[in-house]
Amino acid sequence: MKIRTITTGIPLPTTPYQLQRAAKFNAACQTYFEANGYEVQTTRVSSQIWDEKTDIDTILRVESDAQALGIEFLNLGTILPEKRYTETHIACVADVIVQSETLFATVTLTTPSGDVASDIAESTARIVQQIAHRTDAGYGNLRFAALMNCPPNTPFFPAAYWHDTCTNFGIGWQAADLVQHAFTDAPNLAAALQNLQTLMEAEGRKIVALAETLAQEWGIKFVGIDVSPAPMGDESIAYAMEEQLPGYFGERGTLTVAAGLTQTLQSLDLPLCGYSGLMLPVLEDVGLGERSEADYFNLDSLLLYSTVCGTGLDTIPIPGDASISQIAAILMDVATLSIQLRKPLSVRLFPVPGCNAGCLTEFDSPYLTNTTVMQI
């Protein structure tokens, strides 16, 4: 059982004290969890720097300060629509991602009143395109996403942003291995999902007990676990789901298993936060990458699964010459689903410069696998 991230949310990333405290707390968390038998893959810090007017130089200084403290992942938060500085901040996001190494940021395309912020969809698509063509193989889009109805205080990046009365922390686990274990040799989907609930609640209670001990010792609020299985490399959610499918991921039955998984995750008797649903990150999961390369699913399939899963379209490679209008249309489709279904979704697209549909990606990253570029 691996913990993908312990994420501390802070109100003022420009304040050295807040960064220092977050760095010390994250280090203490990692030491404590590892002493209790858990591998902690990353610790992270999230914030909400976009609530006030800011500039690129200030943001890059924050990154420098964070790096000096050993903070390897820092989320600046999300740019919300209809705010005073929305357009100003959107105009600088691509530069922030291109000029930094550890900073993450997002733009939210839905409003609290339940509308799609269509006026900023095109400018958000332009950010995706600019990052793609100004970073190596478009890799910078790992650190940028569009959000729809996503709650604050989510541990997973890039969706994380802080919104609270004080510093807090949450945990995102890996847990694809728990799905694999629960589904293997189960006689049917109902039994597999019951196995999963039992396994996850037992494991989750241990993690919650450790987290609450830390929360009490440090006086830092624990917001819960994002129980989304977060696949990476050989720990594949596609392979796990196939234990309860008649064929391969993407073939008939996939939607049913996806829905059952998400329903089970959201009904766990644990303090939940974030998405707490099924993640399908195509470029982070070797099984998803293989099934995509073999044409078992496509972008439309993933849109369909988004109606019942937890995250939306995540780490999707698309042609490098995708136009702003094409990217904006994808963003709008997912935002519309989010509004209609009243659920959190997000979009993280990877236009790959020089690649057309069917071309094999060539990312050299510990965080990404490689697969074919999808037709849009």
Would you give per-residue pLDDT tens digits along the chain (376 residues)?
899 999 999 998 999 999 999 999 999 999 999 999 999 999 999 999 999 999 999 999 999 999 999 999 999 999 999 899 999 999 999 999 999 999 999 999 999 999 999 999 999 999 999 999 999 999 999 999 999 999 999 999 999 999 999 999 999 999 999 999 999 999 999 999 999 999 999 999 999 999 999 999 999 999 999 999 999 878 999 999 999 999 999 999 999 999 999 999 999 999 999 999 999 999 999 999 999 999 999 999 999 999 998 789 999 999 999 999 999 999 999 999 999 999 999 999 999 999 999 999 999 998 899 999 999 9
| Tokens describing residue 230 | 């977060």
User: Which pLDDT does position 82 carry in this prediction?
Assistant: 87
For residue 241, give its domain range: 1-376
CB 306 within 8 A of CB 262: no
Closest to 275 measured CA to CA, from 155, 166, 138, 188: 155
User: Which pLDDT does position 1 carry in this prediction?
Assistant: 82
Q: What one-letter code names the amino acid at 285?
A: D
Q: How far apart are CA 89 and CA 110, in angstroms?
A: 17
User: Which pLDDT does position 234 carry in this prediction?
Assistant: 80
Q: What one-letter code names the amino acid at 362?
A: E
User: Which pLDDT does position 310 carry in this prediction?
Assistant: 79
User: Which pLDDT does position 358 carry in this prediction?
Assistant: 95
The number of distinct structural domains making up the chain is 1
Q: What share of the chain is helix, strand, coil (3-state, %, to 5)?
A: 45, 20, 35
User: Which pLDDT does position 104 carry in this prediction?
Assistant: 98
pTM over 0.85: yes
Q: What one-letter code names the amino acid at 84?
A: R
Closest to 325 measured CA to CA, from 118, 116, 91: 118
CB 350 within 8 A of CB 135: no
Q: What is the CATH number of the domain that holds 251?
A: 3.20.70.20
CB 236 within 8 A of CB 286: yes
CB 88 within 8 A of CB 79: no
User: Which pLDDT does position 147 carry in this prediction?
Assistant: 98
Task: Kindly report, residue by residue over 246-271, the tens digit of the pLDDT.
Answer: 999 999 999 999 999 999 999 999 99
